[in-house]
Amino acid sequence: DARVTQTPRHKVTEMGQEVTMRCQPILGHNTVFWYRQTMMQGLELLAYFRNRAPLDDSGMPKDRFSAEMPDATLATLKIQPSEPRDSAVYFCASGQGEGYGYTFGSGTRLTVV
């Protein structure tokens, strides 16, 4: 089965360090989401791309977070500088657009100490 690949699976870093999370969407999928999951907030949408163009990143703290798709096979989410409150599981999902459903990766579990 085709899958969305996220790396790394786990990341522990010190406050103030830069963190980069990567996502390889399923080949042929033109839509990519980044979500963050915490116990308190549940699943929050951070950013959304269609055909590599950012359509909505209103859920992302702009001063420290950035999301890009340098090419169709790679999406990145960067945090600089990282803070303890960024500790969460970050999920990437890809799909073919409205009505098709989306495939989620296994997530990156980030711990900022």
Partner 1 sequence: AQSVTQLDSHVSVSEGTPVLLRCNYSSSYSPSLFWYVQHPNKGLQLLLKYTSAATLVKGINGFEAEFKKSETSFHLTKPSAHMSDAAEYFCVVSDFSQGAQKLVFGQGTRLTINP
The contact set with partner 1 (CB under 8 A) reads: 31, 33, 35, 42-43, 45, 48, 50, 55-56, 91, 93, 97-107
Q: Which is nearer to partner 1, 35 or 86 (CB)?
A: 35
CA distances to 14, 31, 53, 56 from 47, rounded to whole Å, are: 24, 11, 11, 6
CB of 71 to partner 1, least distance (A): 21
CB of 27 to partner 1, least distance (A): 18
Contact 41, 63 (CB under 8 A): no
Q: Which is nearer to partner 1, 14 or 22 (CB)?
A: 22
Contact 5, 93 (CB under 8 A): no
